[in-house]
Amino acid sequence: MSIKVSFASKPMTKKDLLIVILDESLELGKTIASLDKEYNGIISNAINSKTLITKKGSSLSLFANKGKTIQEILIYFVGSIKNYNIEKADRIGGSIFSSIPKTISSLTVYYAFNRNKKIINEEFAARIIHGMKLRSYTFYKYKLKSKNKHHHSLKEIEIITKEPSLAKKYYSPLKFLEEGVYLTRDLVSEPANVLTPIALSEEALKLKALGIKVEVLNLSQIKRLKMGALLGVAMGSSNEPRVVSMTWNGTKNSKSKPEVCFVGKGVTFDTGGISIKPSGGMQDMKWDMGGSGVVIGLMKALAGRKAKVHISAVVGLVENMPSGKAQRPGDVVVASSGHSIEVINTDAEGRLVLADAVTYAINKFKPKRLIDLATLTGAVIVSLGPQRAGLFSNNDELANNIFNSGEKTGEKVWRLPVGEEYDDDIKSDIADMHNVGSGRGAGATSGAKFIEQFTQNIPWAHLDIAGVTWAKSNSELYPAGGTAFGVRLLNTYVKDFFE
Ligand code: BES
Ligand code: MG
Ligand code: ZN
């Protein structure tokens, strides 16, 4: 599945397909003009005869004779490039990938722009490749190879650019980012009979090979730490819970505090527990570990590209099942922070897991700020749909920075409130709080409000990614399935503000 990428100033070997990217100027530039000449003017003919439809995203497939061989050439029209930035360039790459025939195994990309101010040519080239790579992801491990007609055969991409070594420099961190994204998508796609809490903790342990420090707490250690909220959720399942912590320190200072601690909800399957969910669509709850999947993929990307920053992470891994041992609605549990919680609804389990994971993260790492990610509520999907994740924060600077990284990467968020006007929402008659809202709406805020109780007033942001973790249909940068939303956003956030 891995695709070899190369940057060159002229094509090295014959490829199955040549892709020519044209913008609205329809100017060929030197390289494409000479290619055009080599193939008897096939590209300029397509332009002059108006066979090429000049609508953004349209493409035209041509077959050129050259001696005895036939060369397929695909012209891809991008429209205006004036306002192109890295996010749009990524998406062009992804769209181009979708236009490639499935049988192609190697290709060369040509482009001719030099009039854009926001992005230089070499970065554009790197981003085109990055977009193609992101879109090329598949999860076909359970399909018979012989029946696998939907799988693309692409093994090699080459892009022609003036300064190949500079383009390569832009691309090299992006390759590691892709690997993080692929890992997250793999984890999110994996079914829950395979990806149990223990199996997921073992996936995190593999990151040790990259220089990440990984520690796994087993059941007796979790009990010793009195993580009563997380344990309450885990009680109904025969699969034991795990809590995993990870540290990447790419700075010279081994004593520094982590700039950020990322915390992820890792519910490997959410049946709802005794407050059981309806069966229609319940299979989706295999990706209720999406927050932890993003955290693990992000750590892989940061360590892979040797980010010069100190980051820590914690994921809480449990399965939420109904059984004779499961917790009941009305049960009171005590979290490791000492807070008592009345469990009104066993399906509001993510916040219970996060209560203990966040407490552990702050006590263990003393991070400067904490960002948690969770597929926490159906309510955030009602508010924002699959277009944006919900952002909640007690700190304007942190919230604004995350928002801006979202705009830059295209993994967009929208801030929703967690102010004190919502304090009463989680008040319980018999415990310090209960785990659902009072039933008067603002369900995503109730979830955030609950998590906030465990943040010890450090700068904190919560990303409710329930609507963006899994895509029902193909998009420019991913096929239907796990999106890994959050990995690219937070990689950029870390890079822009801490490196
Ligand atoms: N994992 C779900 C939230 C979810 C729903 C994620 C749909 C992805 C798609 C979460 O554990 C849950 O069940 N939340 C409840 C909370 C309620 C009981 C307060 C919900 O949103 O209905
Ligand atoms: Mg639930
Ligand atoms: Zn859940």
Residue 116 has pLDDT above 70, yes or no: no
User: What pLDDT shows up at residue 318?
Assistant: 99
How sure is the predictor about 2, in pLDDT bands with cuts at 50, 70 and 90?
A: confident
Q: How many domains does the chain have?
A: 2
- Final residue of a structural domain among 162, 193, 218: 162
Q: Are residues 315 and 422 in the same domain?
A: yes
Catalytic residue (choose from 127, 133, 168, 351): 351
pLDDT tens per residue, range 138-155: 999 898 876 666 678 999
Rg of the Cα atoms in the chain? 25
167 lies in some domain = no
Q: Among residues 155, 169, 277, 415, which one is catalytic?
A: 277
Q: In the predicted model, is pLDDT for residue 42 greater than 90?
A: yes
Structural domain including 256 reads: 180-498
What is the domain-level CATH number for residue 443? 3.40.630.10
**Rounded Cα gap, residues 204 and 92, in angstroms:** 33
Which of the two residues, 195 and 116, has the higher pLDDT score?
195
pTM metric for this prediction: 0.98
The bound ligand whose nearest atom lies closest to the alpha carbon of 438 is: 1
Ligand 1: which residue has its CA nearest to atom 14?
377
Cβ contact 319:230 at 8 Å: no
Is residue 440 annotated as a catalytic residue, yes or no?
Answer: no
Residues 157 and 217 placed together within one structural domain of the fold = no
Same structural domain for residues 241 and 350? Answer: yes
| Domain boundary residue, one of 162, 197, 217 | 162
Distance CA 199, CA 183 (A): 14
Question: Pocket of ligand 1, candidates 274, 288, 472: which has the most ligand atoms within 8 Å of its Cβ, to mutate?
Answer: 288
Helices (H), 150-263: 164-189, 197-205, 219-224, 228-234
Q: What is the best residue among 283, 286, 377 to mutate for testing ligand 1's pocket, by most ligand atoms within 8 Å of CB?
A: 377
Q: Which residues are placed with Cβ below 5 angstroms of ligand 2, an ion?
A: 270, 347, 349
Ligand 1 pocket residues where CB is under 6 Å: 270, 284, 288, 345, 347-350, 375-379, 436, 443, 466
User: What is the CATH classification number for the domain harbouring 134?
Assistant: 3.40.220.10
The minimum-distance atom of ligand 1 relative to the CA of 275 is 18
Q: Are residues 157 and 187 located together in one domain of the fold?
A: no
Which pLDDT tens digit goes with each residue over 256-308? 999 999 999 999 999 999 999 999 999 999 999 999 999 999 999 999 999 99
pLDDT at residue number 67: 79
Distance 246 CA to ligand 3 centre (A): 23
- Residues 404 and 474 occupy one common structural domain: yes
CA of 277, closest atom in ligand 1: 13
C-alpha 402 – ligand 1 centre gap (Å): 24
User: Same structural domain for residues 118 and 255?
Assistant: no
Q: Which residues have CB under 8 Å from 461's CB, separation 6+? A: 369, 370, 371, 372, 391, 392, 393, 395, 398, 399, 402
Q: Hey, what amino acid is at 11?
A: P
Q: Is residue 1's pLDDT more than 70?
A: no
Provide the CB-side half-sphere exposure for 343 (13 A, CA): 28
Residue 379: enclosing H or E segment and its boundaries? helix 378-384
State yes or no: is 185 an active-site residue: no
